[in-house]
Structures are given as structure tokens and as C-alpha cells.
A = this chain, B = another copy of it.
């Protein structure tokens, strides 16, 4: 997670891995051991020198090898409630997300699943949810604070035309729900047995999320590909999981074209071509479009300085 700058369902409340790494132990290409914040240090904030921790988080192994990480801890919530909420349209689900965040409801998790994903999760994880665009939510706090958060959220979703809200208060019920969400990849794979999964992700300003999600849905339909949409919509971040027949090179080409198009749609909306999956090999061209010539040149300089012989994860990112 530290190497790719990843996040997950909790990021909307607790931040991504970037916000939660206090220190990294890194083996540099020359073999020296670097403690990015100084050995044994774990403070909340600092203004001492360049932010080496932040530079190595998300560098995808191209600057050095991370061998240990010091993480920030958060207090375990006093009470936890999860919920699912089905909507008549993608637009209504995502509008609700935007309104919940704008109302400053401190949701701990807010995940979107399109109806294809929901159907796949129902089958794979033996859920009995309505096959419709759906939000999975979780709230953390005191009993009293939760009551208020939940009530506001329900009001907002209802005013956006939600079908109904279904609560999961017991730990077992909640784990079943989140296990289903975390197994979304396998649920998607099961849609076309024998096919491979191809995941891509983008992230846009939250205000632009409804339009890109609605557009992605239409693009997906137009492409004739099988794919699901699932995402950390509280961050403006979502994934498409596309199923591709490994024998069918023409289909793979269409899948890659879809991913590139989605990346460019995100860039056009002031977003990024990847919220948490990283650049790797497949998004190097998109990275250039995203940060521009001076940005790429600055990144190349950093790479050339810290890894002059190009030993670390060669060919990736840049």
C-alpha cells in the first residue's frame, strides 16, 4: 500500500495510506538504509527538511525498496453501524454521496456499486440486495452521534429518491456486507468464468463525480464489454473491473481503449488518471498528459538522482 500510495474503503474518514505513514525504512539503490523521517521517529507533524516520507509513498518501488513502515493509529470507534441503500439510478446514488459529504456528515465509509456489481455480489457472496445502483455506508462514533449521522444520511438519500435503507448493526451482519464488498473482484470474475479481470481506476473532484460515473456507465454499455463499477466515491475515486477473454486480442484492445478513455475523461474534469492503483506500465502516457512536460521532467530528475543506474523497478511510472 505504501509503495503504490493506495487507499481503501476507510480513506474518506481516515485518509489514504499517504496520510497515515509516519516513517518508512527504505533500502536505497546503493544499499544504504534510509529512515525517511529519521530513525525511530513518529511525530504527528514536522517542518524539518524535505518530506522524504511523502516522496517514497507512491513511488511504486522505483526509488528504493520499502522494508518497514511506521503507521498512525486511530482510536477504535465506540459504535459502528453499516447500511446499504439502493437507488433508481447511478446519478441518484452519486448525487447522494456528494450531498452527504457537503452536509459534513463524517461517514467512515461510502462505497458505490453499480447494478452489475451488485448482482455479481449477490451471487458470489450470497447477499439478497436489490439489483440496483447501491451505496454501502458505515458510520463510526458514539451511540448518540451515530443517531444523528444516520438520520441526516437517510434524509439525504430519501430526497434523492432512494428505494430503501437497510441497516446492519450487528458485527456479523456488518462483516458479511464488507466481505462482499472486499470480494467484489472475485464476484466480478465470476460473471464470465474463464475470463481475466482488468481493473482500472480514476479520481476526480467530488463535484464532478456524478457526470463521470454516468458517462462511464454509458461508455461501458457502448463498448459492448462486460464490466462493473465499484468505488470509494467519498474520495471521488472509482474502479471499473472489466472481464476479458485471454484468447481474444481484439477484446483486450477494446478494454485498454476503454481504460485510456476513462483516464482522459478524468483528466478533462481536473482529476487524476489513477486514485490508488498507480501508473505501472499501462498509464505512463496518461501520467505525461496529467502532469505535463515540466512535471515529468522534474520526476525524471528525481528518479535519475536517487536511482542513477535505473535498478529499481525499471521501466515503471516514467
Segment with Cβ contacts to B, from A80-88, A242-250, A296-304: A296-304
Q: Which residues of B contact A34 (CB under 8 A)?
A: 294-295, 298
Chain B residues, CB < 8 A from A235: 44-45
Number of copies: 2
- Residues from chain B with a CB closer than 8 A to the CB of A38 are 267, 272, 290-292, 295
Do the beta carbons of A43 and B275 come within 8 Å of each other?
A: yes
Which residues of A, 139-168, contact B by the 8 Å Cβ criterion? 142, 144-145, 148
* Distance between A20 CB and nearest chain B CB, rounded to angstroms: 11
Closest to A102 in B: B75
A39 CB within 8 Å of chain B: yes
**B279 near A237: Cβ-Cβ < 8 Å:** no
Closest to A303 in B: B50
The distance in angstroms between the C-alpha atoms of A44 and B19, with both chains bound, is 12
The reply on A33 being an interface residue by CB < 8 A is yes
Beta-carbon contact of B44 and A203 below 8 Å: yes
A48, A278, A318: which has the most chain B beta carbons within 10 Å? A48
What residue of chain B has the Cβ atom nearest to residue A46's Cβ? B272
CB atoms of A301 and B291 under 8 A apart: no
0/1 interface trace, chain A 219-247, chain B, CB 8 Å (1 if under): 00000000000000001110000000000
A193 at interface, CB cutoff 8 A: no
Determine if A97 is an interface residue (Cβ-Cβ < 8 Å): no
* Extra A-B contacts (12), CB below 8 Å, given A47-B276, A49-B58, A77-B104: A16-B45, A36-B295, A43-B204, A43-B275, A44-B275, A46-B203, A47-B274, A47-B278, A49-B296, A52-B298, A75-B104, A145-B145
A sample of 28 cross-chain residue pairs with beta-carbon separation below 8 angstroms, ordered by A number, consists of: A5-B47, A7-B45, A15-B19, A16-B45, A35-B291, A35-B292, A38-B267, A38-B292, A43-B271, A44-B203, A44-B206, A46-B274, A47-B276, A47-B278, A48-B283, A48-B287, A48-B290, A49-B279, A50-B317, A51-B54, A51-B58, A52-B291, A75-B103, A77-B104, A78-B104, A144-B145, A301-B305, A305-B305
